[in-house]
Amino acid sequence: MGEAPIYFKTSSRVHLVVAGDFGERIRELPANELVWVAETPINSPVVRAIWGERPVEPGEIEIGLFPVRMEQTPEEWALGAIPGIDVSYNEEGAGPGAYSVLRVIGTPLSPTLRASLETFGFYQYKETTDGFTAQKHLPWLSLRQEPAART
């Protein structure tokens, strides 16, 4: 049914769209950042149209669909997608190109989502008008290179 996102391109931010009726607003998301979109009757045609409009190099794709069960809630869709996003774009798989911010569109931050995100290293959250963002710690972000000594 669904076409899984391709896992090659990395970005410091991943957008997770669990709003089943996000539709044409998908086009407003940054074209150079990774986007996972719930495969619904309203979202899917827009994503497929974008695939046809935006030429991509082999191995690069910025937007993908993930299958959802329509009887579930957007929160449940997010809970199901987060492990796949993390395994695809975490620091072990993507190295210095790993994501550190997850923007979730279509559901508020709940205690269940927060607990799930914390298992993947997220520690800072901010509510937005359409959902929330979550920040994770990446080890090399805290490493600072000392300036070279002047001679």
The CATH number assigned to the domain holding 92 equals: 3.40.50
Closest CA to 40 of 22, 16, 15: 22
Q: How many Å apart are CA 45 and CA 51, to the nearest integer? A: 10
Any domain includes 68:
yes
Q: Is the pLDDT of residue 109 over 60?
A: yes
Domain housing 33: 13-141
Domain total for the chain?
Answer: 1
Q: Is the pLDDT of residue 143 over 70?
A: no
Structure confidence at residue 97 (pLDDT) = 54
Mean pLDDT of all residues belonging to the chain: 82
Mind listing the pLDDT tens digit for each residue in 51-68?
888 777 655 657 899 999
Q: How many Å apart are CA 149 and CA 46, to the nearest integer? A: 54
Q: Is the pLDDT of residue 3 over 80?
A: no
Q: Are 135 and 100 in contact (CB under 8 A)?
A: yes
Residue 91 structure tokens: 């620091």
Residues whose CB falls within 8 Å of the CB of residue 49, separated by 6 or more in sequence, listed in order: none
